[in-house]
């Protein structure tokens, strides 16, 4: 059952998709007060770059 193992490509894809979903929810929550939208966007951009470079 390599298809359902932790090392399978499907598991890695779903894990990354869930991380992006959580990041978007956190960005939305933190940018509700308009004043903090810049800081929330900068933090989301930095985390996204780290996710692309596998520096998590």
Q: Is the dihedral of CA 2, 13, 47, 28 positive or negative?
A: negative
SS3 state of residue 31: coil
> Residue 32 and residue 51: Cα distance in Å, rounded?
24
Q: What integer pLDDT is reported at residue 32 of this predicted model?
A: 87
pTM: 0.78
pLDDT of residue 14: 92
Q: What pLDDT, in 10s, does the model give residues 14-32?
A: 999 999 999 999 999 999 8
Average pLDDT of the residues of the chain: 89
The share of the chain scoring above pLDDT 90, in percent, equals 61
């Amino acid at each position: 059952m390599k298809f359902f193992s932790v090392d399978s490509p499907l598991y890695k894809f779903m894990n990354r998709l869930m991380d992006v979903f959580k990041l978007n929810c956190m960005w939305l929550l933190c940018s509700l007060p308009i004043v903090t939208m810049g800081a929330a966007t900068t933090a989301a951009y930095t985390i996204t770059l780290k996710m692309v470079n596998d520096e998590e």
